[in-house]
Amino acid sequence: MPRSRFANIRNPLLLPLMALALAGCNQPQSEAHTAPPPAPQVTVAHPVKKVVADEAEYVGRFVAVDAVEVRARVSGYLEGIHFKDGQIVKKGDLLFTIDPRPFQNVLDEARAKLEQAKANLAFAESDLARARSLVRGTTITEQSFDQRVQAKRVAEASMNGQAAAVRQAALDLEFTELRAPVTGRIGERRVSTGNLVTGGAGGNTTLLATIRSTDPIRFEFTMDETSYLRFLRVHKNASGVVANVPVKLRLIDEKGFSHEGHLDFIDNAIDRSSGAIRLRAEVPNPDGTFTPGMFARIRVPMAPPAEALLVPDTAIGTEQVRKFVLTIDGKNVAQPKYVTLGSVVDGLRVITAGLSPQDRVIINGLMRVRPGAHVAPQEGAIASAANPGQPTPTKSD
In the predicted structure, residue 94 carries a pLDDT above the cut 70: yes
DSSP-derived secondary structure for 335-378: EEEEEEEEEEETTEEEEEES--TT--EEEE-GGG--TT-B-EEE
Q: Is residue 183 helix, strand or coil?
A: coil
Distance of CA 103 to the CA centre of its chain: 46
Q: Which residues pair with 83 in a beta bridge?
A: none
Higher pLDDT among residues 94 and 134, named by residue? 94
Distance of CA 306 to the CA centre of its chain: 27
Q: Give, rounded to a whole angstrom, the gap between the first and last alpha carbons of the chain.
A: 85
Higher pLDDT among residues 79 and 23, named by residue? 79
Q: What is the pLDDT of residue 135?
A: 63
Higher pLDDT among residues 62 and 128, named by residue? 62
Looking at the chain, the whole-number percentage of residues with pLDDT higher than 90 is: 35
Would you say the C-alpha torsion 367, 370, 376, 378 has a positive or negative sign? positive
Residue 288: pLDDT band with limits 50, 70, 90: confident
Higher pLDDT among residues 279 and 241, named by residue? 279
Residue 218: pLDDT band with limits 50, 70, 90: very high
In the predicted structure, residue 262 carries a pLDDT above the cut 90: yes
In the predicted structure, residue 151 carries a pLDDT above the cut 70: yes
Higher pLDDT among residues 28 and 163, named by residue? 163
The dihedrals phi and psi of 47, each to the nearest 5 degrees, come to: -65, 150
In the predicted structure, residue 24 carries a pLDDT above the cut 80: no
pLDDT in tens, 5-17: 545 555 554 455 4
Q: What is the pLDDT of residue 71?
A: 92
Mean pLDDT of 82-96: 92
Residue 211: pLDDT band with limits 50, 70, 90: very high
Q: Residues 372, 338: contact at Cβ < 8 Å?
A: no
Structural domains of the chain sorted by starting position, each given as residue range(s) with its CATH number in brackets = 42-53+305-383 (2.40.420.20), 68-98+177-212 (2.40.50.100), 100-175 (1.10.287.470), 217-301 (2.40.30.170)
Higher pLDDT among residues 239 and 259, named by residue? 259
Mean pLDDT of the chain: 82
Of 63-72, 170-179, 196-205, 320-329, where does mean pLDDT reach its minimum? 196-205
Mean pLDDT of 302-322: 85
In the predicted structure, residue 45 carries a pLDDT above the cut 70: yes
Q: Cα separation of 292 and 285, whole Å?
A: 11
Residue 79: pLDDT band with limits 50, 70, 90: very high
- Integer Rg of the chain from CA: 45
Q: Residues 361, 327: contact at Cβ < 8 Å?
A: yes
Query: Rounded to whole angstroms, what are the CA distances from 291 to 172, 196, 212?
Result: 35, 32, 9
In the predicted structure, residue 78 carries a pLDDT above the cut 90: yes
| Contacts of residue 257, Cβ cutoff 8 Å, sequence gap at least 6 | 248, 249, 250, 297, 299, 393
Closest CA to 306 of 23, 76, 54: 54
In the predicted structure, residue 133 carries a pLDDT above the cut 60: yes
Q: Residues 82, 70: contact at Cβ < 8 Å?
A: no
Report the residue count for the chain. 397
Residue 141 DSSP one-character state: -
In the predicted structure, residue 56 carries a pLDDT above the cut 80: yes
Q: What is the pLDDT of residue 239?
A: 67
